[in-house]
Structure formats: structure tokens, C-alpha cells
Amino acid sequence: MIDNEVSTLPSTRARLTPETRRGLTALGLGGTLEWYDWMLFGLMASYLGPKFFPASSPVAATLSALAVFAVGFFFRPVGGIILGTFADRIGRRKIMILSIGLMAITTLVIAVCPTYAQIGPWAGIILLLTRIVQGISTGVEGPLATAQGLELVPEGREGTVAGTMSAFVNFGILAASLLTFLTVLVLGPAAMADWGWRVPFAIAVVGSVVVLYLRRRLPETMTREELEEASTGAIWTSVGRNWLSVLAIVFVVGAVQVYNYAWTTGLPSTARTVMNESPTAVFGITTLLSVVMVIGSLIVGKLVDGKALSTWFIWTRALAIPSMFLILLYVKPGIGAFAGVMLGGSIVMVLNMTLYNVVTSTLMPKASRGAGTALGYGLGVAIFGGTAAYLVVWCASIHQTWLFSVYGAVLMVISIVLYVLARRINGIHIGR
């Protein structure tokens, strides 16, 4: 399925200018903030639930908060359609600023919002609305930041963009976990349940001010002529003409997000609820996984810089097919087996998580790259990523974990086939 192609680009790679490096930093830090906020909501669900919903049953209140968390996934495609289209019409820079602004405002609202005891059902309604806006914002942040990063750098430096964007995102996930842990450690369980849960959200608001300042200086990668020619009709005509590429993006993103959420959420949840492992040990191993992802992203980015990205993607995605079956090694309690599966799978996971957003950006022409990649990304995450953790836990609870492994492996195969077809029919528009 791999075309005969030279495996490397010319050995002389253009240097990145200081302006380009600042741009990549501003884009990457936005990803850190977006994913810190996104993960923080899930981590804080057990605290948010009793504060924003009726507290007669802590479990029911927590489930209500998790349901609100899930709502955000289904609004990602909406963000892709709306904000992705505007990114192609009015420019990348303005939407990148708006994306962070929306996340900053909604996080501030959560940090200062009155509780259910103070304003009744309105507390839950406000929380739901903030999550909807965050879903819209996150639906465009990842794919558009990567697309703009690729448009900023010279040809041959796609690996730099892949490693940088992925490392910043993974650092946001790690920061959410660590700051939550440290806040509980410093304040104690009682204060954390009372008011301390607001602290990590307040920290995010401070960080957003810094990112907004940096993004004000982002260079625009759409030319004046391109923006003058852009229209909603032309953008979506281009998306329709490249429908196979959009479909490929849905499965390229969806398959890797099944892997991602299985390892970062599903397996830890299985360990705590089905296998009754020590929460402290589970937390330590998942934190170590996040460290591997941050460092590994930078290594993978350097490794593939100047290489044929399409070849690297196909081979690393092929490695993910057997890797999905590592889950079968953890079918009975044992923290050692859990650690082995988590860390063993992390190698293939970091390869795929580093490359997927850059690969999807290469499939769409510049004129509709914002709308096409964001739409495919949003659908892939909503359909496949949003359900992955639930499926892992459910399959483990009925002692049929192999079903999830087969499901994930099939998605990996489909993503490779669709990517190769889209590449041959519609072509690659950035790099090789």
C-alpha cells in the first residue's frame, strides 16, 4: 500500500526564523492550555458534581458532571464547521486568538460560578453551557494550530511541527494531573471539596492571559489574495470535492483517539473499578505515561523531520494494529501487568499521537484546510474517542476485553486504507 518514494527529503533543512519559533510557541502553548482545561474538567468531576448538581447522592452528582464532560465531545464537530470555516475566510490568527479567548472565559466562569446551594439548577445549566463552548473551542484548536504551524515552517520541517505541537498538548495533560494532585496534597480533602477545586481553574485563567498576549503577535499564514477569494460556498465546495480526504481524517483521528483514550482513561478506570487496584499506584503509572508522551513527542518530531511523513505514518499506524492486543495481557488484577501494558503500549502510542494531526493537515488544500481538518477531527474524536473509555471498561466488566482489541485494530486498518486512497486520489498538499 506504500507508494515507491524516496524516504527522505533533501538533507539541507531550512532553519526556522525567530518569528517562526515564536509562532510555534504561541500555537503550542495554546494547545497546552486547551488540553489542561479539557482534562481538568474530567479530573475534577467528583468535586464539580456535588457543587453544581443536587448532592443527595454523590455518585449521581458525579455522573451528572461526567455527562456534562461528555457533551463537550459532541460539540467538537460544530466547532470544526463554524470556526474552521471562519479560519479559511478571515484568517488563522483571528480564530486562534478567539479559540483561546473562549476557553479562558469559560474556565473563569467555572472558577467563580456560584454553586447549586446558592443559585439552584442554574449552576448546572451554566456548567453545561461552558462545556458546550469549550467543546466548540477545542474542536478547532488542535487541527488549526497544527495546520497553521505547517504553513509557518519551510518544507521539510513537518516533523518539528509534529513534535512541538504534540509535546505541548501532552504537557497540558500532564500539568492538569500534577496540579490537581498538588492542590489536594496542599489543601487537604476537606478544603478541596469546599473551595479548593476552584484553584486549578484559576491557574488556567492566569495562563490564558499569557497565551492571548503571545497569540496577538502570531503571523497570518493566509495571504490577502487567498482571503479575498475565500467564501463559504467556495470553502465547502472544496471540502465536498475532497470528501475522501475528510473521511480519511475522520478515521485517522478516530482510530488513534481510541488508542489514546483507552490508555489514558479506559485502562486506568478499569484498574480502579474492575480490578480494584491501588488508586495511588494507578495515578503514578498514568503520570509516568504522560511524561513518556511529552519527551517521546519531541524525540519522534526530530526523528521524522526531513523524512517522508507519509511513509512514517503508514508504518507507525501499522504497528498500532498488534499493539491494540496488549490490553489482553491485563485481564486479571495485578499492578505489574497494568504497568506493563500502559508503558509497553506507550511507545507505539507516542509515535501515532505525534504524527496524526500533521498527517491530517497534509490531506487538505490550503483554501479549505481549516474547515476540512477541523470537521474530520471533530467527528473522529466525537464518534470514536468519546466512547473509547466506556467501551474498555464495559468489555473488561463482561470479561470480553478481546472485543475492544479487535475493534481498535479494525479501525487502524481502515485508517491506513482510507489514507492511502485519499493520498493517491486527492494528493498530499504539504510535505511528502
2-16, 74-88, 305-319, 402-416: range with lowest mean pLDDT: 2-16
How many angstroms separate the CA atoms of 14 and 297, rounded?
21
How many angstroms separate the CA atoms of 261 and 117, rounded?
34
Instruction: Give the residue among 258, 305, 252 at the shortest CA–CA distance from 420.
Output: 252
- What are the tens digits of pLDDT across the range 313-372? 999 999 999 999 998 888 888 889 999 999 999 999 999 999 998 999 999 999 999 999
DSSP structural state of residue 363: T
Measured in degrees and rounded to the nearest 5, phi and psi for residue 361 equal -65, -30
At 1 the three-state DSSP class reads coil
Residue 4, pLDDT score: 37
Alpha-carbon distance values, 118 to 66, 114, 153 (Å): 21, 6, 51
- What are the tens digits of pLDDT across the range 174-189? 888 888 888 888 888 8
Give every CB contact of residue 209 below 8 A, 6+ residues apart in sequence.
104
* Helices 335-362 and 279-304: angle between axes, nearest 10 degrees: 30
Residue 62, pLDDT score: 63
- Which sign, positive or negative, has the C-alpha torsion 201, 80, 300, 9? negative
Q: How confident is the model at residue 6 (pLDDT cuts 50, 70, 90)?
A: very low
- What are the tens digits of pLDDT across the range 241-265? 999 999 999 999 999 999 988 888 7
- What are the tens digits of pLDDT across the range 366-417? 999 999 999 999 899 888 987 787 787 788 778 888 999 999 999 999 999 9
Q: Where are the beta strands (DSSP E) in 160-316?
A: none
**Average pLDDT score over the chain:** 86
Count of CB atoms within 10 A of residue 133's CB?
Answer: 17
The predicted model gives 265-269 an average pLDDT of 78
Cell 474542536 sits on residue: 139
Contact (CB, 8 A) for 226 and 359: no
User: In terms of pLDDT, which residue wins out, 142 or 6?
Assistant: 142
Burial class (CB in 10 A: 0-12, 13-18, 19+), 336: exposed
Residue 373, pLDDT score: 92
Cell 505541537 sits on residue: 165
DSSP structural state of residue 8: B
Q: How confident is the model at residue 432 (pLDDT cuts 50, 70, 90)?
A: low
Most confident stretch, 134-143, 273-282, 418-427: 418-427
pLDDT at 7 over 60: no
Give me the count of residues in the chain.
432
Give every CB contact of residue 223 below 8 A, 6+ residues apart in sequence.
none
CA atoms within 13 A on the CB side of 314: 16
pTM of the predicted protein model: 0.85
Residue 320, pLDDT score: 95
User: In terms of pLDDT, which residue wins out, 68 or 314?
Assistant: 314
Contact (CB, 8 A) for 431 and 158: yes
How many angstroms separate the CA atoms of 184 and 192, rounded?
6
Contact (CB, 8 A) for 405 and 325: yes
Classify 156 in phi/psi space as left (phi over 0), alpha (psi -120 to 50) or beta.
left
How many angstroms separate the CA atoms of 389 and 267, rounded?
8
Helices (H), 113-231: 116-119, 122-152, 158-191, 198-215, 224-229
How many angstroms separate the CA atoms of 299 and 309, rounded?
15
pLDDT at 97 over 70: yes
pLDDT at 222 over 60: yes
pLDDT at 5 over 50: no
The predicted model gives 257-274 an average pLDDT of 81
Alpha-carbon distance values, 13 to 32, 152, 309, 378 (Å): 27, 14, 15, 33
pLDDT at 65 over 70: no
Residue 58, pLDDT score: 63
* Beta-bridge partner residues of 8: 307
CA atoms within 13 A on the CB side of 104: 16
At 384 the three-state DSSP class reads helix
Cell 467556495 sits on residue: 234
At 307 the three-state DSSP class reads strand
Cell 476557553 sits on residue: 103
CA atoms within 13 A on the CB side of 214: 20
Q: What is the largest CA-CA distance in the chain?
A: 66
The residue type at 141: E
